[in-house]
Each structure stands twice: as C-alpha cells, then as structure tokens.
Amino acid sequence: MKKTLLTCGLLLGCSTFAHADPLSAWNDTAAKQSIEQWVQNATKEGSPAFIPTDKRYVVFDNDGTLWPEEPLVFQIKFIVDEIKRQAPEHPEWKKDPLLKAVLDNDLKKVMTFGKEGLLKLVTLTQSGMTTDEFNQRVANWFDTQKDARFGCRYDQMAYQPMRQLLDYLRENGFKTWIVSGGGIDFMRVISQKMYGIPPEQVIGSFALGEFSLTDNGTQIRKTMKGAFYDDGADKPVAIHLFMGQRPVGAFGNSDGDLQMLQYTTANPNYKTFGLLVHHTDAEREYAYDKQPGSGGKLIKGMEEAKAKGWTVVDMKQDWKTVFDPALCPAK
C-alpha cells in the first residue's frame, strides 16, 4: 500500500511538473492566449495553420523588446563608461565639446550632437581594436556594471516574460533570432547567456573588419568601413542577407520595428504572428510611446497593429513580473 501511494505521489509530481506553465510570468490575458493559440495551430500537423519545422523562424528586436532601452540603451551606457575609463590616457578629450559633455555626464548636450556625435563615440570605443579585445571589454563591462535604478547587472535584466517566450517557442520547434539596431558584436557577447540565442542567430548593426596575420596566428580588427545601421526599413534587408528566408513571427516594441513586422506578417505561405511590447509600467519599468526624444516611439506601429491584428502586450496588465526576481529583485 505504501509503495502504491509512493508511486502515485511520484507520478502526480511528474504530472504536475510536466504541466507547469511555460509562460508563468504572463498574466492569463488575451496577449498570452494569442501566443499560445498561434503556437498550437502552427505546430499541429494537419492544421491549416501548420508551419513545417524548417520554416519556423522568428525574429526579436532587442532594445525595449528583450531588455530595457530607457533612459538609455545599454550599448550607449557601455560607450559612456568606456569613454570615462579611457579618459585618463587622453587628457586632450577635455577640450572636445562632445567628449567633455560625456565626461561631465551631460547627456542632454551629448544628444544635441546627433548621429554624427554618436558615430564619433562609437568609433572611439568600438573601432581600432581586435574583435577579441572588444569582446573582452564588453564582457568585463557586463560583469562589473550595474543599472543605477534597479541595482542589477545589465546581463541580469532580460525581461522574464520574453525570456520564457523564447524558451517556449524553441520547445515547439521554432528557431529564434535577434534583429536589432544594436551592434552585432556587442549583442553576440551575451546573447547565449541571456536569451539562449547563439551568436550566429544575432543580426545587428555592423561594419567591416580587417583580417591580418600575426606572430601568434590571425586576427580581425574592427573598423567603421561599410557601416550598416540595422533599423527601420533596413531590418528586412538584413534578415534577407543573414537569414535567407522570410520569418513567420516578429516581436518588437517600437516604430523602428515596423518594417520587420510588416515584412514578416506579409509572408504569403504561412499564418504569421506579429507582437509589439507596449511600455506602460512606470512603476516596474518605464512608461513611454510618444515622448519626444524617446528611441522607443510607438505610434505608427500601434495603428498598424490595430489594422492588421497584431498582438499588443500591455506591460502593466499582461506581465506578472518584468525581471526574473532571482536575478533582479524588485526594489
């Protein structure tokens, strides 16, 4: 009798584990239900919406979709910290208005220099060194720097609901890609650790490197030649270049992702899925969509989502948690 009870207990435990909710960080709202319904239909053989495994490619924006982008995207924070780290070796930087603004933490003034100023900062901090040297700088930054508001390392700040969604999709035979305006080399350093996405499935902004032989072997040195900014209408172009096929699902958060969702959901061969994360939670994260100067404007995307039936995630209403409490506890 005891053995029977023990066996039943073990079986019940296994059954409970097997039926654990893979999207437990999501509230049971229309957004979650739309995801589950699409995945169920896409993976059910014989369903009119069935998608073969080799066609289940889905693309995710990074900044604002998988981790925060306000008040500054993480890569900009890395650039600022790199300028400050190297400043003692370059006293002449204090005479440069742009670099002085960075060193004085006057980010509003930094923004007045526009794209040319940003390009200059990127060149100073992400060009002229080998890819190995750059990767080590990025890894060191993630290991040591913390977000001022949340007190967590940046590599601990993946959105838990989206991290679960990535796992859920992969468990159902989907291949997950990042397609972001962020630097391709920057994201590849942490994509596997944070999201379970290998470096070869990361698409981002890039420039051409230079190969050379060295006394110890070979190296690739980073340059700014042929710079390509992977945002807006260039996202579908980059997807075609790196992926070679049209995705069946696209996940973003801003108008910079609009063309990626348009390209994906216009796939003529399969029932596709589009999703936008709407930042509505000022208490647990940030609330924005139309603010001047925000990199995460979501105006046209909301209009098109309504017209085309894309899922819009209301962060405040649809997510039980924002960050994994084991990695980044709420303050």
The pLDDT tens digits of the residues spanning 61-81 come to 999 999 999 999 999 999 999
101 located within any domain = no
> Could you tell me the CA-to-CA distances from 121 to 60, 82, 98, 127 in Å, in that order?
26, 10, 9, 10
> Do the domain assignments include residue 141?
no
Name every residue whose Cβ is closer than 8 Å to that of residue 310 and which is 6 or more positions away in sequence.
261, 265, 274, 275, 276, 304
**119 contacts: CB under 8 Å, gap ≥ 6:** 224, 227
Decide if pLDDT at 6 tops 60. no
227 found inside a domain? yes
Q: Is 290 left (phi over 0), alpha (psi -120 to 50) or beta?
A: alpha
Q: For the chain, how big is the Rg over CA atoms in Å?
A: 22
Question: DSSP readout, 115-162?
Answer: HHHHHHHHHHHHSSSBHHHHHHHHHHHHHH-B-TTT-SBGGG--BHHH
Q: Is residue 289 part of a domain?
A: yes
In the block, tokens 């896409």 appear at: 42
Res 2 pLDDT > 50 = no
Q: Please answer whether residues 265 and 299 qualify as being in contact, where contact means their C-beta atoms are separated by less than 8 angstroms.
A: no
Is 60 exceeded by the pLDDT of residue 159?
Answer: yes
Q: Are 66 and 277 in contact (CB under 8 A)?
A: no
Cα–Cα distance for residue pair 12/326, rounded to 1 Å: 27
pTM above 0.85, yes or no: yes
Total structural domains within the chain: 1
Judge whether 94 lies within some domain. no
Mean pLDDT, range 22-28, rounded to an integer = 98
96 Cβ contact partners less than 8 Å away, ≥ 6 residues apart: none
Task: Name every residue whose Cβ is closer than 8 Å to that of residue 79 and which is 6 or more positions away in sequence.
Answer: 121, 122, 125, 126
> With 0-12 CB in 10 A as exposed, 13-18 as middle and 19+ as buried, what is 195?
buried
pLDDT in tens, 84-142: 999 999 999 999 999 999 999 998 899 899 989 999 999 999 999 999 999 999 999 99
Q: Is residue 129 part of a domain?
A: no
- Residue 246 Cα distances to 118, 139, 258, 264, 267, angstroms: 31, 32, 15, 6, 7
Rounded CA-CA distance 182/83 in Å is 18
- Quick one: 225 exposed, middle or buried, by C-beta within 10 A (0-12, 13-18, 19+)? exposed
Q: Which CATH number fits the domain that encloses residue 40?
A: 3.40.50.1000
For 310, the domain range is 23-70+160-318
Kindly give the interhelix angle for 131-144 and 74-86, rounded to the nearest 10 degrees. Answer: 100
Report how far apart the first and last C-alpha atoms of the chain are (Å, whole number).
49
pLDDT in tens, 212-259: 999 999 999 999 999 999 999 999 999 999 999 999 999 999 999 999
Tens-place pLDDT, residues 132-143: 999 999 999 999
Nearest Cα neighbor of 108 from 71, 79, 67, 63 is 71
Tokens, residue 62: 């990074």
The two structure tokens encoding residue 96? 């440069």
pLDDT digits 0-9 by tens, 255-280 = 999 999 999 999 999 999 999 999 99
242 contacts 265 by C-beta, under 8 angstroms: no
Residue 306 has pLDDT above 70, yes or no: yes
Say whether the peptide bond before residue 71 is cis (omega within 30 degrees of 0): yes
Instruction: Please tell me the total number of residues recorded for the chain in this structure.
Output: 331
Residue 3 has pLDDT above 90, yes or no: no
Q: Strand pairing of 202-214 and 217-228? A: antiparallel
pLDDT attached to residue 18: 54
Residue at 1: amino acid letter: M
- The answer to whether position 137 is within a domain reads no
Q: Is 104 inside a domain boundary?
A: no
pLDDT at 300 over 90: yes
